Amino acid sequence: MTAVTDRPRRVTGGRLLLYGFLISLLLVFALPLLWALSSSFKSRSDIFSYPPQPLPAPAVLDNYRTLLAEQPFWSWFVTSTVVALLSTVLAVGLCSLAGFAFAKYRFRGKTILFNIMFSSLAVPFAVIVVPLFIMIAKARLTEPYFALVVPWIAPAFGIFMMRQFAEQAVPDALLDAARMDGCTEFGLFRRVVLPLLRPALGALGVWSFLNSYNSLIWPLIVISEPGDYTLPLGIQALFGATGRQYDLVLAGSVLAAVPSLLVFFLLRRQLLEGLAAGAVKS
């Protein structure tokens, strides 16, 4: 029987190099966020002072007060949050249904439809913006909430992700057993399939929320009234005719990042489980 020892790992030169590389990489990614957070508490004249000051001295809240008092920040925030939540709920529901159908049902044209859908992943969103806007205008769905939600309710990436996960995580024998017990197809999906897809649903939910919440190009196309602006569009509007208000932009950017960070940390476990499960075959 081999004795189990709990000795600390020996620090080698290779391990030190690895730690140094990872810490450097972390600083590269975190530095813009830390600079924005620090600068949001500086006066406008101190933001671009030379030499640059890493910390505000003194820290002021004037940027946040001015932003909340003089700009419709809360209107932008509510619009972005409602649109992102609606898009997420619809995307999770429709993508799970479509992915399950592609994975477990046989129907005519299934391979052709899937290949067309899969090929659309290679098309940049900027290429389809104009045709998509014309389609929505023809369908008379130009009301702000409809126009902002529709492009995100059935993304090709979400359908592909759920199809791959359903193929691995949902055994055919389990579906056949449920059918023999008298379960309807919708009951089968709700009671058997959805619990098995939970990790992928969490990952898709985080991806959908962040994708819709941070969108700028599409709201820039379909929204014309300032009262209907989303957060990215409202912050972008601060670079307006009155000059580039970097102090307000930085304060708005910090506040806008809070919901994204909350969603990520609250659903971090489901996101990691979904990504890991999608990468490992059962």
Question: Tell me, what CATH number does 125's domain have?
Answer: 1.10.3720.10
Q: What is the pLDDT of residue 272?
A: 73
What would the pLDDT profile of 122-145 be if each residue is shown by its tens digit? 888 888 888 888 988 888 877 878
What would the pLDDT profile of 139-157 be if each residue is shown by its tens digit? 887 787 888 898 888 899 9
Residue 2 clears pLDDT 60, i.e. is over it: no
What would the pLDDT profile of 164-199 be if each residue is shown by its tens digit? 889 888 888 888 888 888 888 888 888 889 888 888
* 23, part of any domain: no
Work out the pLDDT band at 84, boundaries 50, 70, 90.
very high
In which residue are the tokens 């919708």 written? 186
Q: Which of 48, 79, 100 is nearest to 144 (CA)?
A: 79
* 270, part of any domain: yes
Q: What is the pLDDT of residue 1?
A: 44
* 80, part of any domain: yes
What would the pLDDT profile of 9-34 be if each residue is shown by its tens digit? 666 778 888 888 999 998 888 888 88
Contact 248, 71 (CB under 8 A): yes
* 14, part of any domain: no
The number of distinct structural domains making up the chain is 1
Mean pLDDT of the chain: 85
Residues with Cβ within 8 Å of residue 220, at least 6 apart in sequence: 233, 236
Percent of the chain's residues with pLDDT above 70: 91
* 22, part of any domain: no
Percent of the chain's residues with pLDDT above 90: 23
* 264, part of any domain: yes
* 16, part of any domain: no
Q: What is the pLDDT of residue 282?
A: 44
Residue 117: domain span: 64-278
* 112, part of any domain: yes
Could you tell me which residue, 277 or 225, shows the higher pLDDT? 225
